């Protein structure tokens, strides 16, 4: 940025703005690279721990679950979703939210609009714990279901 007391032109201001943008983008790239390296390091560490556990525990040892892992010889399926709520968040929009199911990786979202759908229909497969339903006709009654997927 030019020093105080000098004539500042629009070109000077634009050049300073572009310099700021470029430095911000470079810093974002550095942060992303650091995050990706940390993610890879964590993955490698967890993978190494699982590999080490494989050499220490039998495939049917229940202690696998103490580490938050399935028992390799007898994996437990995810527990069911215990609560699903629908909340109005605007005209023609409803927020479908649910509690996390233990050991679930993904969820299948099903919705039924009374007077439109004869049965529940598939909406989405997602790992999030909420989804906004859009383009709904105001005043209609809807029902939502969420199932886990391993």
For 36-77, give the DSSP string. HHHHHHHHHHHHHHHHHHHHHS-TT-GGGGGGT---TTSPPP
The pLDDT score that the predictor gives to residue 7 is 81
pLDDT of residue 4: 59
User: What's the whole-number mean pLDDT along residues 103-126?
Assistant: 86
**Mean pLDDT of all residues in 15-22:** 93
Instruction: Report the pLDDT value the prediction gives residue 58, as an integer from 0 to 100.
Output: 94
pLDDT band at 149 (very low <50, low <70, confident <90, very high): low
Grade residue 103 by pLDDT with cuts at 50, 70 and 90.
Answer: confident
Asked if 140 contacts 97 with a C-beta cutoff of 8 angstroms, the reply is: no
Angle at 78 between CA 77 and CA 81, to 5 degrees: 145
In a domain, 40, yes or no: yes
Q: What is the pLDDT of residues 37-75, one digit of tens each?
A: 999 999 999 999 999 999 999 999 989 888 888 889 887
Domain of residue 105: give its range: 84-149
- Asked if residue 78 is part of any domain, the answer here is no
Is 99 inside any structural domain?
yes
In this predicted structure, what is the pLDDT of residue 21?
Answer: 93
pLDDT band of 78, cuts 50, 70, 90 = confident
45 and 95, same domain (yes or no): no
Collapsed DSSP state (helix, strand, coil) of residue 14:
helix
Average pLDDT, the chain: 87
Are 144 and 90 in a shared domain?
yes
Shared domain for 52 and 101, answered yes or no, is no
**Residues 93, 60 share a domain:** no
Predicted TM-score (pTM) of the model is 0.50
Are the C-beta atoms of residues 101 and 142 closer than 8 Å to each other?
Answer: no
Residue 137, in any domain of the structure: yes
| Residues 61 and 99 both lie in one domain | no
């Amino acid at each position: 940025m030019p020093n105080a007391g000098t004539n500042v032109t629009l070109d000077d201001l634009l050049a300073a703005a572009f310099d700021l943008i470029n430095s911000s983008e470079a810093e974002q790239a550095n942060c992303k690279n650091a995050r990706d390296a940390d993610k890879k390091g964590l993955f490698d560490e967890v993978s190494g721990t699982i590999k080490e556990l494989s050499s220490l525990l039998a495939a049917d040892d229940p202690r696998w679950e103490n580490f938050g892992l399935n028992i390799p010889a007898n994996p437990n399926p995810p527990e069911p979703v215990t609560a699903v709520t629908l909340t109005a968040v605007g005209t023609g929009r409803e927020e479908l939210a649910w509690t996390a199911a233990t050991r679930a990786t993904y969820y299948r979202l099903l919705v039924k609009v009374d007077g439109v759908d004869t049965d529940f229909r598939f909406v989405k497969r997602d790992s999030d714990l909420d989804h906004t339903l859009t383009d709904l006709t105001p005043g209609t009654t809807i029902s939502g279901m969420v199932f886990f997927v391993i």
